[in-house]
Structure 1
Amino acid sequence: MKFSSIASGSKGNCLLYENNDVKLLVDAGISKKRIEEGMSEYGSSLEEVNGILITHEHSDHISGLGVVSRKYHIPIYATKGTISKILEDSKVGTIDRNLFNEIEENKDFYMGSTLVTPFSISHDAAQPVAYRFDSDGKSMAVATDMGMYDDYIIGNLKGLDAVLIESNHDINMLQIGPYPYALKRRIWGNKGHLSNETCGNLLNEIISDRLKKVILGHLSKENNLPELAYETIRNEINMADGNYCADDISIQVASRTEPSCHIEF
């Protein structure tokens, strides 16, 4: 099982999951050219991709989907609500409806030998989901764009070997930053994004002997710094009452703009 970030941030997201018999993109929120270049960095190409899994319809997750789908005709997997919003989005352009495959929260499906589990997240989108991947005794998940977490999300993130998890903003940077108050409220609200501190708290809920690789993703350019996210997460883990410390885990920060964090497990 391999996983790589092509881009992960508030301005664009595209992630690559690979197994022996399948290659999947999670989101296509950057240009076709950048996706092609990013995949080339990992020795892959869009011609090899078996499906594009969409988390939700916000532009930083689908802005490149129309161009990619029109050239490569890759099957697209998304919830009914997300598909409806994509089809209404004039910026995406026309997409062949036959490419869409409707999925449901909590209803597993196979892509090759990989079991994919979509699960609901709390975000201000039509029908957003995160994804878990299980194959050959290994598990990983992509969980971003979450305003909050609960026992349901914790349950879906238990027993992982690796995770890309949202560490979107530093609370103090957001509070004193230039965003309008309404946008700040959206970001820190229950349907917005996880702060560095909340991300650390969630990680403390799912840390186990298995979880060895953590990628911090979807960082805000305006309201976070990679080194700040990294140190905050380490501090949250080290200060928790559990049996684990930050040195037990490989923690990386995904680049907002460049291919990064290629992991194998």
Structure 2
Amino acid sequence: MTDDFKVSMLASGSTGNVTYIETPQHKILVDAGLSGKKIDELMQSIGKSLKDVDKLFITHEHTDHLKGVGVLARKYGMDLYANEKTWDAIDGKVGKIDIAQKHIFDRDSTQLFGDLDVESYAVSHDAADPQFYAFHHDNKTFAMLTDTGYVNDHIASVLTNADSILMEANHDVEMLRYGSYAWSLKQRILGDEGHLSNEDGAENLSKMIGRNTKKIYLGHLSQENNQIPLAHLTVEQILQDHDFAVDHDFNLLDTSPDWATPLSKI
């Protein structure tokens, strides 16, 4: 039943990212960008246990997505999935992982796991071979998109009309431009292999929201160059300018690197 397809953004932000998804047959994580202890606490906060997680999907090798991978793998024995270039980039960063736990998930492909179909798609980010995932169960879809400098047609086609979407709203452009970051870092974030701004996220959402879309989570906010109320207000205003009835036709939801969103059905 679709009521059994649930998600929680355990943590989302520039300091750490972890997402929990469950179906009747699977309990999985996407990324583990915090300490094992913190991820355990966040799981407990939504009434779940890491002991029950059977799979972990890795998007790329940056620390805010990778930090706890090795600890979780060794302690709980879960299966890990990433593409080959990402595995090569991870090597040496997470300690020893049993080869039997390591699985290849090619970008722009789909793998079937019982009652869950998982689809990968490449993104534009300064990592070895970054990819994100869409999860399909019982004619429902949860799709994720952060850590990309732009959105191509293929990504847009995957996310369009998804039931739930995690969309990047990394930075406010003016806060970034006038902030304390070095100019080279500002250029990286603003570039084609950087991150989507609040405005970028909103404009892309305006082309993706469909009749099935009921929940939109704003994710991967920068601690230095954004604020939750600012991101929410900016995205809400732009979507309203595109004639969307925000919080009527769908809910616009916030995330944080410090607290988990409620576990809710997709």
TM-score range, shorter chain: over 0.9
**Matched residue, 2:246:** 246
Correspondence list, 1:114-193, <5 A: 114-193=116-195
CA distance in 2, matches of 1:228, 1:187: 18
Counterpart-to-counterpart distance in 2, 1:232 and 1:262: 25
2:63 is aligned with 1:50: no
Confirm or deny that 1:107 pairs with 2:105.
no
Unmatched runs of 5 consecutive residues or more in structure 1: none
Instruction: Quote the offset at 1:119 in angstroms.
Output: 0.5
- Give 1:256 shift: 1.7
1:1-265 to 2 correspondences below 5 Å? 1-89=5-93, 92-240=94-242, 243-247=243-247, 248-265=249-266
* In 1: Cα distance, 2:48 partner to 2:112 partner: 21
| Structure 2: distance between partners of 1:123 and 1:137 | 30
Q: Which runs of 5+ in 2 are unaligned?
A: none
Per the TM alignment, residue 169 of structure 1 is displaced from its structure 2 partner at its CA by 0.4
Q: Is the 8 A contact 1:18 1:24 kept in 2?
A: yes
In structure 1, give the amino acid aligned to 2:244. Y
> What TM-score comes out, normalization by structure 1 length?
0.96
Structure 1 residue 68: Cα displacement: 1.1
RMSD: 1.1
Q: TM-score, normalised by structure 2?
A: 0.95
Structure 1 residue 261: Cα displacement: 4.3
Q: Is the 8 A contact 1:29 1:65 kept in 2?
A: yes
Q: Is the 8 A contact 2:136 2:142 kept in 1?
A: yes
Is the Cα–Cα contact under 8 Å of residues 139 and 161 in structure 1 kept in the other structure? yes
Moved over 6 A (4+): none
Q: Structure 2: which amino acid aligns with 1:124?
A: D
Distance (whole Å) between structure 2 residues aligned to residue 39 and residue 19 of structure 1: 16
